[in-house]
Amino acid sequence: MTKLTVFAAQIRREEMKEFKELGFGHIGGSLSITDTIAALYGDIMHYDPQTPLWEKRDRLVCSKGHAGPAIYATLALKGFFPMEWLMTLNKPGTRLPSHCDKNLTPGIDMTTGSLGQGASTAAGLALALKYDKSDSRVYLILGDGECNEGQVWEMALFAAHKKLGNLIAFVDYNHKQLDGTTDEIMNLGDIGAKFASFGWFVQTIDGSDPDLVVAAVRTAQHMQKDRPAMIVLNTIKGAGVPACEAIEFNHHIVCGPQMADEAIAELDKVIGGTEGV
């Protein structure tokens, strides 16, 4: 166990508490991206929980906005807002809506949820920061199903043409979209090769290991120069909660108390007495 794998387990534990309280949610895709979120907030990104709008922060645009619960758990653990907020997910008047909203949640850098749109807003942030000669970087998380959207490919062309060397994107390639596997519904083929052909610096890694994610980001930062970078994450939808992984259509599912409690107990064991990041 490393500090980051423990941190990922801590995030998953809080996610499962959120879903247990609500009784359902976008569980599969929140869990599959958790190790990358742990890497970003546990090591890579510069940010200040006391000053969420700190000008020199790095930005994260989670374009697959339905993974909000994973980010909320992380932001709470990092002290952006009280842990109790996690029990308000999707409840009336909440600051934590199902999809990310920068005007409601401290630490969320962009409002997302209509798939494809975070791709362009991330490119806009990167372009503006580049224009300002800022050292801040922009991290973008795309879903694999989201890459069906034409807007993603408009951005892919744009980011390479505008030489956005301060943009690092991920595709959470859990190989499942809402209606089935990506192979069945809309085959992405060799998605890494596609981005490479657009002029991106591309790596493909095991997205279930946060330390590998950190290493890949460091490589990207070193190698990308004036190119946008893509890290294709091979992941499992529902990762870290075997009962969720086992469900065929696990994009948005019911989370009964038994499923949640079993997952939380298992994650407790992983975390043990160790401290995460």
Partner 1 sequence: MFKVIYNGEKEKTAMKDAFAASIEKLFKLDPQVVYLDADLMNSMSTTKLRKAYPERAIDCGVQEANMVGVAAGMSAAGKKPYVHTFGPFASRRCFDQMFISVAYAHNNVRIIGSDPGVTAAYNGGTHMPFEDVAMYRAVPNAAIIDIVDSVQLQDVLIRTKDRPGVTYIRTPRKNSVAVYGEGSEFELGKANLLRDGKDITIIACGIMVAEALKAAQILEAEGISAQVVDIFTIKPLDEETVLACAKKTGAIVTAENANIIGGLGAAVSEFLSKKHPTYVGFVGVNDLFGSVGAEDYLRKFYGLTPEKIVEKVHEVLTLKNQ
Residues that bind partner 1 (CB under 8 A): 61, 101-103, 109-111, 113-114, 116-117, 119-129, 131-132, 150-151, 154-155, 157-158, 161-162
CB 30 within 8 A of CB 66: yes
CA 239 to chain CA mean position, Å? 13
Nearer to partner 1, 117 or 235 (CB): 117
Closest CA to 6 of 30, 39, 49: 39
Q: What are phi and psi of 74, to 5 degrees?
A: -65, -45
By DSSP bridging, strand 180-181 and strand 176-177 are antiparallel
Q: How near is the Cβ of 66 to partner 1 at its closest, in Å?
A: 14
Q: How near is the Cβ of 44 to partner 1 at its closest, in Å?
A: 19
CB 267 within 8 A of CB 9: yes
Q: To which residue do tokens 């980001």 refer?
A: 217
Q: How near is the Cβ of 151 to partner 1 at its closest, in Å?
A: 5
Nearer to partner 1, 50 or 103 (CB): 103
Nearer to partner 1, 34 or 121 (CB): 121
Q: How near is the Cβ of 134 to partner 1 at its closest, in Å?
A: 8
Q: How near is the Cβ of 195 to partner 1 at its closest, in Å?
A: 16
Q: How near is the Cβ of 3 to partner 1 at its closest, in Å?
A: 31
Nearer to partner 1, 157 or 265 (CB): 157
Nearer to partner 1, 4 or 229 (CB): 229
Closest CA to 236 of 154, 156, 172: 172
Nearer to partner 1, 75 or 108 (CB): 108
Query: Within 10 A of 247 (CB to CB), how many other CB atoms are there?
Result: 16
Look up residue 246 and give its amino acid. A
CB 83 within 8 A of CB 18: no
Q: How near is the Cβ of 212 to partner 1 at its closest, in Å?
A: 28
Nearer to partner 1, 132 or 179 (CB): 132
Q: To which residue do tokens 């700190």 refer?
A: 54
DSSP string, 176-223: EETTEEHHHHS---SHHHHHHHTT-EEEEEETT-HHHHHHHHHHHHHH
